[in-house]
């Protein structure tokens, strides 16, 4: 038993070690040195105190020196900085920061828990008076008093780690225009890029200006405002700047005294938390520890490990053997509307360690509800699980969602502690009732998915592998409902909904690999089983479905952020000119529905409305803002306003593209044009062939195609056989002179009295080029819209009965409206 124990640092690791030591040993003399004024404060709560969520400053002070003295008989010396460790004499040199007195204190055992400090990079202008870091109570007081004494409109956070993001959210709550500058291509380094994209979407949809792949070059402060020049050359003005670019270990004391440390300044300890000196222990942010999953070395600045290590060090000091089993890095943070949580290794880390996808590890995505979908208020948890390719051992998991996120990560973190595999997750029996979970919990679902992959029940493809697919070998099939495609679709995909798949098997080539996807992967799995059991040998399921694909594809530069109206002055004027309280509007409540539920409901509702009418939609899905904005762009409707009230996301839409207001300000939404439209004017075979080949190609790429047949082009659509209809003399003459149907068309050149035509048909047959009749059928099967121009029919005396089935009859307005949505309009 050690008689006199000194502890350096009085917060997470230090205070925890002190309290545990006393519980172990009533007689030890324990002195805890803390250079700051406070001990055991809630540093994790500081951002929320700035944002006003935590109202009382006192609530941050978990324990006072007086409490510790009274309850634990610990000599707490705040405002006392330890200057050096004299290992030879087993003494500390300490400075009383209030009196300036320097004194020595001897020890039998010493526990170091000095933590880490925020990095302050040497950027020109970094010492400007409106630039702060946040780490402790004095930092927080300084920020709070600056905010209260100045008029802050714009704030910038440099660094997109968890503290930076928590600060950004809280500053945003205060009503400031917030920017985040992040050097990497993603925020929240603990998760992978595609998962971080979910956060990017939500951060920007909260009106925050998120700058990725950019760093600060210099700060220029003038009259209360700092102009931030970025590496890209962009400039941002800010009244307040928070630097949150990482931490460095406070290891100077250890280094000066000759204790072993690593290159990053981390103190080396064994599994009892003992340093290279047998009488000195170290814990918390300052130590290098074993990484739990792969046994490597790491430094993880988190409160949980610091507290546990403090307890373990205290046990060992008191003669109770105890060992630390490594750090998994289990973490959780609130980022605007989402909770993000993870444990273990992410893919970035695995790649850095030289591990390879498919060779060493596999991973899967799941997007399941936190609780039964029919119970109000369910929300989606987006998860990525990584596991060993050979034995299914779980290597890490990441989750982003609204509710129940950390519960799932904690369950999996626990399974990992005991060597859990993907199979174990399938077996877990977890608590279930509709308000809390599902009979198949999202954790079980990850297990089932992993099992199917490992056991080869489902061949998979990941979003990043789609890029390398060629049309000759692969067909990508979207098995969602047609309306869901208005939210976007995978490039080059065709649409056959899972319910129609059995009736459309003939459209798919068994020699090709069929890549199936739906919104999340569930319907695609059903489709996979249908195809396999119908003789398709090569079928792959896109993991994570369109949800993961569209997360990856999300481009923050085109994000339709709330308040983005600030960007466009004309839109701002339009929005301001609308009397929101009194306009007549239809309403739709989609709360509780998950994507694509709200969008599908909007789609159904808007179909029943007239152009120019307003629709207000309420939803609880935080992805709704981004989804509805891109849906409006795709479908040619106008998103007027987005508003967040508590947990509700409210949007106001206007049916149609153009918005005209009382003061005649016009606002045009950008309609994303991907359709193809064609005027088929010619009735010549070669031109008809060309038009159908293009139409079928575009349809195969998932594009909506409209072919508008007019004048001679109408002959392509005529039936082969003569149809008895009533015609006047001129109409009969015209009818007799024109070719009746596709088989009678001539070539535009080298027809040579029919010889050229015969030669062409022979060559086409030899070269396996489909006949025009086959191409027309294919186009109809591919959903190509064929419209016969009623005006030309009238002029040429062609009657509806004479044309093939499955075509529409319409005027030029139909063509023009399809051309408006098209990025290519051809005249053939």
- Using a 10 angstrom Cβ sphere, with 0-12 exposed, 13-18 middle and 19 or more buried, the burial of residue 646 is exposed
Helix (H) or strand (E) holding 297: strand 297-298
Active site residues: 44
Q: Are 285 and 247 in contact (CB under 8 A)?
A: yes
Backbone dihedral region for residue 764 (phi beyond 0: left; psi -120 to 50: alpha; all else: beta): alpha
Name the nearest CA neighbour of 108 among 193, 180, 30: 30
Q: Are 399 and 342 in contact (CB under 8 A)?
A: yes
Q: Are 675 and 634 in contact (CB under 8 A)?
A: no
Q: Are 717 and 786 in contact (CB under 8 A)?
A: yes
Sites of contact with ligand FAD (CB under 6 A): 8-14, 33-36, 43-44, 46-47, 81-82, 113-115, 134-135, 163, 250, 253, 284-286, 301-304, 306
Four-residue CA torsion sign, 69, 74, 75, 78: negative
Distance CA 642, CA 110 (A): 57
Chain position carrying tokens 């923050």: 556
Chain position carrying tokens 């409160």: 303
Name the nearest CA neighbour of 423 among 401, 390, 460: 390
Cα–Cα distances (Å) from 474 to 440, 674, 701, 781, in that order, read 33, 22, 12, 19
The torsion of the CA quartet 796, 799, 803, 806, rounded to 10 degrees, works out to 120
CB atoms within 10 A of CB 147: 18
Nearest distance, CB of residue 115 and ligand FAD, angstroms: 3
Nearest distance, CB of residue 619 and ligand FAD, angstroms: 29
Q: In angstroms, how far is CA 648 from the centroid of its own chain?
A: 20
Distance CA 460, CA 452 (A): 10
SS3 label, residue 247: strand
Dig out the tokens for 362 from the structure: 């596999």
- Using a 10 angstrom Cβ sphere, with 0-12 exposed, 13-18 middle and 19 or more buried, the burial of residue 677 is buried
The answer, yes or no, to whether the previous bond of 706 is cis (omega within 30 of 0) is no
| Residue-level length of the chain | 828
Chain position carrying tokens 């991973």: 363
Q: Are 235 and 220 in contact (CB under 8 A)?
A: no
- Using a 10 angstrom Cβ sphere, with 0-12 exposed, 13-18 middle and 19 or more buried, the burial of residue 139 is middle
Q: Which residues pair with 474 in a beta bridge?
A: 513
- Using a 10 angstrom Cβ sphere, with 0-12 exposed, 13-18 middle and 19 or more buried, the burial of residue 37 is middle
Chain position carrying tokens 């575009």: 698
- Using a 10 angstrom Cβ sphere, with 0-12 exposed, 13-18 middle and 19 or more buried, the burial of residue 354 is exposed
Distance CA 404, CA 410 (A): 10
């Amino acid at each position: 038993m050690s008689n006199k124990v000194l502890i350096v640092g009085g917060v997470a690791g230090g205070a925890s070690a002190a309290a545990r030591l006393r519980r172990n040993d009533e007689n030890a003399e324990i002195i805890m040195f803390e250079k700051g004024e406070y001990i055991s404060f809630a540093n994790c709560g500081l951002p929320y105190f700035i944002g006003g969520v935590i109202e009382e400053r006192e609530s941050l002070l978990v324990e006072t020196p007086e409490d510790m003295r009274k309850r634990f008989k610990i000599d707490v010396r705040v405002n006392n900085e330890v200057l050096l460790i004299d290992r030879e004499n087993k003494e500390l040199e300490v400075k009383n920061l209030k009196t300036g007195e320097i004194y020595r204190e001897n020890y039998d055992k010493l526990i170091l828990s000095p933590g880490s400090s925020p990095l302050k990079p040497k950027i020109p202008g970094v010492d400007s008076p409106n630039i702060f870091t946040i780490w402790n109570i004095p930092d927080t007081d300084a920020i709070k008093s600056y905010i209260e004494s100045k008029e802050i409109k714009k704030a910038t956070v440099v660094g997109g780690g968890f503290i930076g993001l928590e600060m950004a959210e809280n500053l945003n709550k205060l009503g400031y225009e917030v920017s985040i500058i992040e050097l990497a291509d993603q925020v929240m380094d603990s998760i992978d890029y595609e998962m971080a994209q979910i956060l990017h979407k939500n951060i920007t949809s909260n009106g925050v200006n998120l700058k990725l792949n950019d760093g600060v070059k210099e700060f220029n402060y003038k009259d209360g405002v700092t102009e931030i020049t970025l590496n890209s050359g962009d400039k941002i003005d800010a009244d307040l700047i928070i630097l949150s670019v990482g931490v460095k270990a406070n290891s100077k004391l250890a280094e000066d005294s000759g204790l072993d440390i690593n290159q990053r300044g981390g103190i080396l300890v064994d599994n009892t938390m003992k340093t290279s000196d047998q009488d000195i222990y170290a814990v918390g942010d300052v130590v290098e520890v074993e990484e739990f999953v792969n046994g490597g070395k790491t430094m993880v600045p988190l409160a949980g490990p610091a507290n546990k290590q403090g307890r373990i060090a205290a046990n060992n000091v008191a003669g109770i053997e105890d060992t630390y089993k490594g750090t998994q890095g289990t973490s959780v943070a609130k980022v605007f509307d989402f909770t993000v949580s993870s444990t273990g290794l992410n893919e970035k880390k695995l790649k850095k360690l030289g591990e390879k996808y498919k060779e060493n590890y596999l991973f899967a995505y799941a997007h399941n509800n936190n609780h039964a979908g029919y119970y109000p208020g369910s929300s989606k948890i987006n998860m990525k699980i990584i596991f060993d390719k050979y034995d299914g051992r779980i290597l890490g998991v990441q989750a982003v969602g609204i509710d129940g996120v950390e519960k799932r990560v904690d369950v999996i973190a626990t399974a990992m502690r005991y060597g859990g595999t993907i199979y174990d997750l399938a077996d877990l029996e977890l608590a279930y009732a509709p308000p809390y979970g599902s009979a198949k919990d999202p954790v079980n679902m990850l297990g089932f998915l992993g099992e199917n992959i490992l056991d080869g029940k489902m061949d998979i493809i990941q979003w990043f592998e789609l890029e390398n697919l060629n049309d000759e070998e692969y067909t990508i099939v979207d098995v969602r409902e047609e309306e869901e495609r208005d939210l976007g679709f995978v490039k080059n995909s065709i649409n056959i909904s899972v319910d129609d798949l059995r009736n459309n098997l003939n459209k798919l080539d068994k020699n090709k690999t069929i890549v199936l996807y739906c919104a999340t992967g569930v319907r695609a799995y059903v489709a996979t089983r249908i195809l396999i059991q119908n003789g398709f040998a090569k079928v792959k399921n896109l993991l994570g479905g369109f949800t993961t694909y569209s997360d990856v594809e999300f481009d923050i530069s085109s994000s339709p952020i709330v308040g983005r109206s600030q960007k466009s002055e004309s839109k701002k004027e339009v929005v301001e000119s609308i009397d929101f309280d009194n306009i007549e509007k239809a309403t739709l409540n989609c709360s509780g529905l998950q994507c694509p539920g709200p969008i599908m409901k909007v789609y159904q509702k808007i179909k029943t409305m007239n152009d120019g009418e307003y629709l207000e939609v309420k939803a609880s899905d935080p992805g709704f803002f981004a989804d509805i904005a891109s849906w409006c762009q795709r479908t040619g409707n106008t998103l007027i306003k987005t508003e967040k009230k508590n947990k509700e996301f409210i949007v106001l839409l206007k049916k149609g593209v153009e918005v005209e207001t009382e003061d005649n300000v016009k606002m045009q939404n950008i309609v994303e044009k991907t359709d193809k439209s064609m005027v088929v004017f010619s009735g010549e075979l070669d031109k008809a062939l060309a038009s159908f080949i293009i139409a079928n190609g575009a349809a195969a790429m998932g594009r909506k195609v409209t072919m508008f047949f007019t004048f001679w082009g109408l002959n392509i659509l005529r039936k082969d056989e003569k149809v008895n209809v009533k015609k006047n003399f001129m109409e009969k003459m015209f009818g007799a002179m024109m070719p009746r149907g596709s088989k009678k068309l001539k070539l535009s050149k080298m027809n040579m009295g029919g010889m050229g035509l015969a030669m062409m048909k022979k060559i086409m047959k030899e070269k396996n080029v489909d006949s025009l009749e086959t191409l027309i059928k294919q186009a109809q099967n591919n959903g190509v819209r064929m419209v016969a121009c009623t005006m030309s029919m009238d002029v040429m005396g062609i009657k509806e009965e004479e044309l093939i089935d499955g075509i529409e009859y319409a005027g030029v307005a139909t063509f023009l409206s399809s051309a408006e949505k098209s990025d290519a309009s051809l005249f053939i």
